[in-house]
Amino acid sequence: MTDPQAGDATTFFAPPHPGTLLRSTFRAMADAAEHRLQSAGINLSQWLALKLIAQRQRVCVRDISDELEMDPGAVTRLLDRLEQRDLVQRSRSTIDRRVVDVAITPGGTKLVCDAEETLSALWAEAFAGWTETDRTNLAQLLGRLNEAFRPS
């Protein structure tokens, strides 16, 4: 018989397994965000890219690819769509002509602000009825779990 204190996940957790719950929760969050962002005419990947570009003011395509864990070709196609809508602007780096920098436009900045309000409302609805203690405990537990999986 396996000792649950020894860390055997097959006996330590009653179904459903935390990994299954986390994946299911992530998928539900992503689906809900996608649905809400449709009103702005963007999808979740585009929103994440826009938010990253807005935070950094100017970022290269490779950094977007790395940060969002997307194939560089997929990032290029995503940026094509955002640039067509005048939400971002691409230019060659003045330091290294092989590098393409991306900057957010005023229209992109406005969309980021609007989408943040939309997604904040989604989070408020999701946590309606939760106490501050519940929210704090969730954040602490997820933080601990996150740290447990980081390489030491």
pLDDT for 86-109, tens place per residue? 999 999 888 888 888 999 999 999
Distance CA 113, CA 109 (A): 6
3-state secondary structure of 90: strand
Residues found in the chain: 152
pLDDT at residue 7 is higher than 80: no
- What is the average pLDDT across 32-51? 93
Question: Which amino acid is present at 142?
Answer: L
Spatial strand order of the sheet with 88-92 comes to: 58-60, 100-104, 88-92
Strand partners, 60: 101
Which residue, among 82, 140, 24, 152, has the nearest Cα to 68 in the 3D structure? 82
